[in-house]
Amino acid sequence: MSKSALVTGSSRGIGRGIALRLAERGYNVAINYLQDEKAACDTVNCAKAFGVNAFAVQADVSQPDQFRRMAAEAKRAFGTLDVFVANALGDLIGFMLPPMKMTLERWDEASGVQARAFLVGVQETAPILRDGGRILAISYWPGSHGGGFLPYFAMGTNKAALEAMCRYFAVALAPRHITVNAVCPGITDDSIVNHLPPELCASMLAWLRSGWGPTKRPGTPADIGGAVAALCSEDAQWITGQTIAADGGASLMNPELPLDLQRPEA
**pLDDT tens track for 194-221:** 777 888 888 888 888 888 889 999 999 9
Q: Is 168 a catalytic residue?
A: no
**pLDDT band for position 192 (cuts 50, 70, 90):** confident
CA gap 86, 88 in Å, rounded: 6
CB 30 within 8 A of CB 6: yes
Q: How far apart are CA 181 and CA 169, in angstroms?
A: 9
Q: Is the dihedral of CA 148, 153, 156, 162 positive or negative?
A: positive
Residue 25 to residue 31: CA distance in whole angstroms: 16
pLDDT in the model for residue 43: 98
**CA distances for 203 relative to 185, 194, 199, 200, 216, angstroms:** 18, 11, 6, 5, 14
Contact 187, 220 (CB under 8 A): no
- Nearest partner of 66 among 14, 116, 128, judged by Cα: 116
DSSP 50-109: TT--EEEEE--TTSHHHHHHHHHHHHHHHSSEEEEEE-----HHHH---GGG--HHHHHH
- The active-site residue, picked from 101, 159, 168, 216, is 159
Catalytic residue among 38, 152, 168, 216: 152
Taking only the tens place, the pLDDT of each residue in 229-260 is 999 999 999 999 999 999 999 999 998 899 88
Domains of the chain (ranges; CATH) run 3-246 (3.40.50.720)
Q: Is the pLDDT of residue 36 over 60?
A: yes
The helix-helix angle for 104-113 and 115-125 (nearest 10°) equals 30
Q: Is 3 a catalytic residue?
A: no
Give the model's pLDDT for residue 15. 97
Mean pLDDT along residues 146-167: 94
Number of helices (H), then strands (E), in the chain:
10, 7
Q: Which residues pair with 58 in a beta bridge?
A: 33
Per-residue model confidence as pLDDT tens digits over 76-107: 999 999 999 999 998 878 888 999 999 999 99
Residue 266 has pLDDT above 70, yes or no: no
Looking at residue 201, what is its pLDDT? 86
Provide, rounded to the nearest whole percent, the portion of the chain with pLDDT above 70.
99
- Asked if residue 71 lies in contact with residue 80, where contact means CB atoms within 8 angstroms, the answer is no
The answer, as to whether pTM is greater than 0.85, is yes
Q: What 3-state class would DSSP assign to 218?
A: coil
